[in-house]
Structure 1
Amino acid sequence: MRALAPGKIILSGEHAVVYGKPALVLAVDRYAEATISSNAESRVHFELIDFDENSSLTLQALRELKGRLLRNYQMFLNGELGIRDVLKKPFHLFEFLFITLIDGLQLKLDRGLDILLHSDIPVGSGMGSSAATLVSVLKGLAAFFKLNFQADDFFAYGLEAEKLQHGKPSGVDPYISVHGGFVRFQNKQAQKLVMPRVPFTIVNTGSPQATTGECVSFVSEHFATSPIWDDFEAVTNKMQYALLAGDVLDVQRCVRENHKLLTTIGVVPHTVQNFIRDIEKAGGAAKIAGAGSVRGERGGMVTVYADAIPTDIVNRYGYELLRVKGEPNGARVV
């Protein structure tokens, strides 16, 4: 059984979406893939192909792992543990998801399973790689066990697991991976929008040193009660109208304003700020398209809106251009 789930780009509303403000989110044609098959053993084997990591555990060992992870998460909520320390290894996230699903639905497992995971979504760069992988596993397991799952079920299980990695996630990543398309997302509810026509380019500035969870925690500590989130909402509203109208100049104005707000909350590394400044000097506009980073000089993905792809500027900084387009469809079995 093989399932695919798309990644995403946030066009406006990063961080603000955690505080109940809207975000504009586009699914893109980069995918996480889960392949599920049975084996003759009584163990569940996970293999993360891109990390060259694997694990093999019994159901009892998975239940014990789940208990430890939930205790770690509670310690995080109590302020006793950093979010980065809740999960010790990347595949713990998917093992937690698996046993939560099996026990939550009281599924019978009379044989072992092999679960192979692969993704061409850059990891830790704001494109929803973890959530897409979670959703691909859920989609594959639902098909394997012939579950009558609805979209809300995939979203709920994906969000429950994502908490272990991101702390207090908005839910936008699993939602867009389940549904695909282009949406306005707010308070775990989404309004479907027409796919945007304004062209943009994705630039990878490198994997951030800080995780999404760490960035969210940093922003919460310093800006949780700030009125700046109203400014984010106003920009997102203007951006939505500009995108749907296909008004390139207005979109660029919104992007520049959004970038200033993201810089204010401290999630745009200095080198990335310099890159964006050079894009603006050349007549374009750009902003980070994920959590950014509160440490180091790499900020993950940046969306660039310009008349021509600024290859010379990208090369000068040693960054990477990514060719992506919107994906109207969500997770699916293939």
Structure 2
Amino acid sequence: MIMATTQPTPLPTAPMPTIRTSAPGKLFLLGEYAVLEGAPALLTAVDRRVEVTIDPSPTGSWQVSAPNLGIRALGLGTDGALPAGLSDRQQAHLRVFDEVRVAVQTAARQARELQQTDPRVRPETSTPPLAITIDSSALSRGGHKLGLGSSAAAAAALTDALAQALGLTLDRNDLFHLAHAAHRSAQNGAGSGGDVAASVHGGLIRYAPGTAAVPLRWPEELRISAVVTGEGALTTRLVGRVADYAAVNPAQHRADLDRLTRLAEAAEAALADPADFLRLASDYFDALSALDNHARAGIVSLRHRELHALAEREGGVFKTSGAGGGDVGLAFSYAGEPTERLAGALARAGAAIVPLGLFAAGLQGGTAS
């Protein structure tokens, strides 16, 4: 149970100030797919952020904007409910918003019920009409999502912003659980929560479902480059194909996931030895390739295999990141000249490196008059 409280609000209240929050995107370094079975994963937050702004509504009714998704001042129903008649595309874009809205309003109502004997706490459970703006443009390139966890970052930033707007006090762990539950619901029950954990906590973390995120240190001798490998892939579709494979051939699926799990469990210790980590990253790519060969999910493409071979020739390692498919991949290398050499080889092969700052700060924000 989330032990949230509402801030006592003396009456009359001052006008609500503008609320601004932001949460970083993420990269899965190791542990993809195995984390769905409970294994640990390594993730880093990146310096591309989803930004959420909440103001009192100028129209007297709820509205939401997501300009980079083509949604501008969309009128909402009572307490921010999505209106009827939205297109499938609009509904898909706003699913995370709607799940977060319901989750935060429910948590706020429960907190108020617990504090109903406090005369300083407003007894109503409704919220003054809000104007909410969500900007996830920084996590796209040329209009295509990069696979940096924009929906998870949006869930984290929205949860924090709406909680503040409703006077709900959440510590970082409670905020993660609320955002993760809403994000998972928006994805029809899929997702480990690792992307939400990276967005909330920031930095480099070890994450396993059902456990607290553990901050880690990245070895100074190694560098990570994010490489564009195609157009963004739909995570739920790829994960769904692996789930279909598990239903058809459970024994082989179990063997594939056991192999990935053994490697994922060795990842944290491998950070102490750069050479060990590079070998582990290469082995993990091979294990993902085996899973994909059996599942025919589209996790590892021909382009991925070409980049893996190229990186190996240059003394580095390339692997997919996250669900795989067309999202960004990762090139690991020793710092200095080896990184420059690998970057040059990738450029000659037509693989663009996305400039990303890694180990970025987690959830940030507050109010401004």
TM over 0.5: yes
Q: Give 2:105's aligned residue.
A: 102
- The answer to which of 2-11 and 197-206 deviates more is 197-206
1:308 and 2:329 are equivalent in the alignment:
no
Q: Give 1:284's aligned residue.
A: 316
Number of paired residues? 309
Question: What is the 5 A alignment of 1:143-182?
Answer: 143-163=164-184, 164-165=186-187, 167-182=189-204
- Quick one: structure 1 residues 276 and 134, their matched pair in 2 at CA, closer, same or farther if it must change by over 3 Å? same
Alpha-carbon contact 1:42-1:58 (below 8 Å) kept:
no
Secondary structure of 1:261's aligned partner: helix
Would you identify which runs of 4 or more consecutive aligned residues in structure 1 move more than 4 Å? none
Task: Compute the displacement of 1:256 (Å).
Answer: 0.8
- Quick one: structure 1 residues 238 and 274, their matched pair in 2 at CA, closer, same or farther if it must change by over 3 Å? same
1:212 and 2:235 are equivalent in the alignment:
yes
Q: Give 1:222's aligned residue.
A: 245
Secondary structure of 2:218's aligned partner: coil
Distance between the aligned counterparts of 2:130 and 2:209, measured in 1?
38
Distance between the aligned counterparts of 2:101 and 2:43, measured in 1?
27
Distance between the aligned counterparts of 1:13 and 1:87, measured in 2?
32
Q: Give 2:139's aligned residue.
A: 121
Alpha-carbon contact 1:45-1:57 (below 8 Å) kept:
yes
CA offsets per residue over residues 2-52 of structure 1, 9 Å max, x none? 111111111110011001111111222221110111123243222112223
Q: Give 2:356's aligned residue.
A: 324
Distance between the aligned counterparts of 1:60 and 1:148, measured in 2?
19
- Quick one: structure 1 residues 60 and 176, their matched pair in 2 at CA, closer, same or farther if it must change by over 3 Å? closer
Secondary structure of 1:10's aligned partner: strand
Q: Give 1:2's aligned residue.
A: 20
2:129 to 97, 108, 111: 111
Secondary structure of 2:176's aligned partner: helix
Q: Give 1:89's aligned residue.
A: 92
Distance between the aligned counterparts of 1:255 and 1:237, measured in 2?
12
Q: Give 1:238's aligned residue.
A: 266
Secondary structure of 2:136's aligned partner: strand
Structure 1: unaligned runs, 5 residues or longer: 70-84, 294-298
1:272 and 2:325 are equivalent in the alignment:
no
1:22 and 2:50 are equivalent in the alignment:
no
- Quick one: structure 1 residues 86 and 116, their matched pair in 2 at CA, closer, same or farther if it must change by over 3 Å? closer
Task: Compute the displacement of 1:116 (Å).
Answer: 3.6
Question: What is the 5 A alignment of 1:26-105?
Answer: 26-54=44-72, 55-59=74-78, 62=81, 88-105=91-108
CA offsets per residue over residues 228-251 of structure 1, 9 Å max, x none? 2222122223332221x1x22222
**TM-score, structure 2 normalization:** 0.76
Alpha-carbon contact 2:108-2:168 (below 8 Å) kept:
no
**TM-score, structure 1 normalization:** 0.83
Q: Which amino acid aligns with 2:359?
A: E
Structure 2: unaligned runs, 5 residues or longer: 1-18, 110-124, 293-298
Distance between the aligned counterparts of 1:87 and 1:41, measured in 2?
21
Percent identity, aligned pairs only, is 25
Q: Which amino acid aligns with 1:156?
A: H
Superposition RMSD in Å? 2.6
